[in-house]
Amino acid sequence: MVRVVYPLIMTTATRKKEEEIEFEGDLSSLIDLLCERYPQLKKVLYNKDGFNRFINIYVNNEDVRNLDGFETRLKVGDTVKFIPAIAGG
């Protein structure tokens, strides 16, 4: 199982703050699965330039851009968090 944690503004689409998902594959496939499950998510996660740059994704508290990006392999017990990028400074 992979644990997925959503920020408040994604819960309009997901109707839940987090969930455990039976999943095997990379981050990109997980996002495809989530968009299939929650069709409203697609317009939040993607825009005309591709993946929304105002969303940061973390796997086990590490920014995926420091891992293998969307090709980051997910394994049982991993936690994936979507966090708004606009904070700090």
Partner 1 sequence: MLMLRCIVCGDVKEDAPVYVCDECFGPLEVIYDWERIKEIASKEKIEKGVKSLWRYKDFLPVKGEPVDLGAGFTRFIHAKNLGEIVGLRNLYLIDDSTNPTYSFKDRVVSVAVTKALEFKMKALGCASTGNLAGSLAAHAAKVKLPAYIFVPAGIERVKLVQAAIHGAKIIEVEGSYDHANRMATELAEKNPEWGFVNINLRPYYVEGSKTLAYEAIERLGWESPDQLIVPMASGALLTSIHRGFLDFIEVDFTSELPIFNGAQPEGFPIVRAVKEGGEVEPVREFNTIVHSLAIGNPANGYSAREIIKRTGGYAEDPSDAEVVEAVKLLARSEGIFTELAGGTVIASLIRLVESGRIDRNERVVAYLTGNGLKTADVFVEEISELERVSRYEEVIAW
Residues of this chain that bind partner 1 (CB under 8 A): 7-9, 12, 43-44, 47, 52-56, 58, 61, 63, 65-66, 81, 83-89
What size, in residues, is the chain? 89
Closest approach, Cβ 79 to partner 1, in A, equals 12
Q: Which two tokens stand for residue 48?
A: 């005309």
- Taking the least distance from each CB to partner 1, the nearer of 3 and 81 is 81
CB of 24 to partner 1, least distance (A): 26
**CB-based contact 3:20 (threshold 8 Å):** yes
Q: How many CB atoms lie within 10 A of CB 79?
A: 15
